[in-house]
Homo-oligomer: A and B are copies of this chain.
Amino acid sequence: MSTPVSARSRDEGLEVRSKDSPRDGRASRAEKIREQRRRELLDVALKVFAQRGYHQARIADIIDAAGVARGTFYLYFESKNAIFHALLDDLLARVRTSVVGVSMAGNAPPVNVQIRQSVERVLAAFVASPDLTRVVLREAVGLDAEVDKKLFDFYARLHRWLADALANGARLGLLRVSNGDLAAWAVLGTIKQMVQLLVDGPADSGRKPTITEAAEAILDYSLLGLAPR
C-alpha cells in the first residue's frame, strides 16, 4: 500500500502516505517481503552477471534462477541496466563507508596503525563480495555514461582522500613531500591492483594473498619504496 511500489516510481521523490494506510503490521511485513525479494533478485543477478557477463546475461537467466515471473523482475527494477546500477551502488557505497580519515584524538591508535587499518578496511570492503567486485571491475567500465560517471566520481573521491592523507602526512613530517597528486594516483593504482589480486588471484598460478598481506605490501611498497634504506 505505501511502500511496495513499481520500480518506475523510484525517482518520483516524495512518497505520499495514503490516508487510510497507517504503517501497521501488514504494511511493514509487506515492506520486509519486498526487501527480501529485491535482495534475492540482486543476489541472483550478481551470480548471472558473474557467470555470463553483463551483455551475455539475459533477463530470462535472472528470473529463471530467482524463480519469479518476468513481470515481477520489472516490479523491482526498471531494467536490466537498473539492476546493474543497484549492484554497483551497493559496492561503491560499502567501500565509501569503509573509507575514514585518520583521528588525531589522544585516545586514538597511533597514526601508522590507523593507516594500516584504513587500508585493510578498504580492501576488506571489496573482498567481502569478491563476485560483486569482479563483476563491477570487469563489466562496469564503458558500460554506459552513467556508470562511467559513478566510477569516475568514486575514484576521484578515493584519490582525493589519498591526496589529503598524503598532504597531512607531509605537514606532520611523517611523509616526504612529493608531487602529491601523482603520488596519490600511484597509491590508488597499487590498491586497485591489490584488490584485483585479492578477488581474482595472481596471473601466474601463485598464491592469492590475504588481506593483511596485501595491506602490508601496499604500505611497505608505498612508504618505504623498493630501494634499500
Contacts and interface: CB of A to CB of B under 8 A. Distances in A.
Most interface-central of A175, A179, A190 (chain B CB within 10 A): A190
Contact of A181 (B55, B176, B206): B206
Contact of A186 (B179, B182, B218, B229): B218
A119 B203 CA distance: 21
Interface residues of A, number: 55
B221 A222 contact: yes
A121 B142 CA distance: 27
Interface string A161-184: 000001001000111101101110
A26 interface: no
A225 B220 CA distance: 8
Interface of A: 53-55, 137-139, 141-142, 152-153, 155-156, 159-160, 166, 169, 173-176, 178-179, 181-183, 185-194, 197, 202-204, 206, 209, 213-214, 217-218, 220-229
B228 A173 contact: yes
A151 to B, nearest CB: 9
Contact of A176 (B183, B189, B204, B227): B227
Most interface-central of A209, A217, A225, A228 (chain B CB within 10 A): A225
